[in-house]
Amino acid sequence: MRNLIAFLIKNSSWFVFILLEILCFYFIFQYNSFQRSVYLNSSNEIVGRVYAISGEVTSYFGLKETNQDLLLKNADLQNKLLALEDYIHDRNNDSLKTQAIATDSIPTKNFEFIISRVINNSISQLENYITINKGSKEGIHTEMGVISQQGIVGIVRAVSPNYSVVQPVINPKTSLSCKVKGSNTPGSLAWDGVDYRYISLEGFPRFEKFEVGDTIITSGYSGIFPEGIIIGIIEDSKSQNDDNFLTLKVRLSTDFSSLKDVLIIKNNDREELTQLEKEITTNGR
């Protein structure tokens, strides 16, 4: 206490000076309209900039929550779209049904979508894999399809209680059935291990019509992916050893270098279909 008093006495002139300066500024801004307006404008500018920076920081940290919300809405829209496509398809094939489409009468689609986040990803290896933060506890199992908001990603190959490993299309072991949008001729996708941005559609019949810029989509034949999931865009073509077929160079719609969030596709009828196919195979032997 004695040291504090000594310090105040020793520096009393400085404290008096600071106090007088404060009083001077107060009287200047209080009784002079011009100086007061300058002060208010300057303070508003500073406060505005602080709020702007604070808002940007808050928005940045809120991006994850916003993105998750968008994924939920996207998954819901995917379900509704697929359900509507099935409903329209059934209606077109049944000439006896003539009543108009009612929203509340659209049946539940066989496919569901589960949101997950990528926690590990490789794009520069010959055999690339992706690890996601959902596992068997959330109903994930092997042979489930995985897509992003941009397009196709791959297939689940290994599952633990809390995590899963996805084999992406940029892995030579991945083989998927696909087709050119607007065509019913299926083809097979294959990655050559060179560029993660491109994949090849092999065995495409030469007589089939297509153009550079056409969209490649899933065929829906595998039961893993519904029909119509975008894979990429045709950029080039070349002849195979057999002149009756072409290999199409496809630029993938999914950017694997920035992949963060994915949707896992659950086919509620896949187990039934698989069991039925096994029975046919067994009975045929």
The per-residue pLDDT for range 100-145, each reduced to its tens digit, is 233 333 334 577 888 889 999 999 898 999 999 999 999 999 999 9
Quick one: which of 130, 176, 153 has its CA closest to 265? 153
Residue 202 half-sphere exposure, CB side, CA atoms within 13 Å? 12
User: What pTM was computed for the model?
Assistant: 0.62
Give the strand pairing for 152-159 and 145-147: antiparallel
Numbered ranges of CATH 2.40.10.350 in the chain: 111-279
The percentage of residues in the chain with a pLDDT greater than 90, rounded to a whole number, is 27
Return phi, psi of residue 21, to 5°.
Answer: -60, -45
Residue 229 near residue 147, CB atoms below 8 Å = yes
Among 108-117, 178-187, 230-239, which is the least confidently predicted range?
A: 108-117
Residue 190 half-sphere exposure, CB side, CA atoms within 13 Å? 9
* CA separation for the pair 261, 147 (Å, rounded): 9
What is the rounded (10 degree) CA torsion for 166, 83, 230, 176?
Answer: 50
The token pair that represents 47 in the structure block: 């406060």
- From residue 45, alpha-carbon distances to 42, 48, 52 in Å are 5, 5, 10
Q: What is the mean pLDDT of residues 213-231?
A: 87
The superfamily in CATH containing domain 111-279 is Rod shape-determining protein MreC, domain 2 (2.40.10.350)
Residue 115 CB-density burial (10 A; 0-12 exposed, 13-18 middle, 19+ buried) = middle
In the chain, how long is the greatest CA-to-CA distance?
Answer: 106
Q: In the predicted model, is pLDDT for residue 213 greater than 80?
A: yes
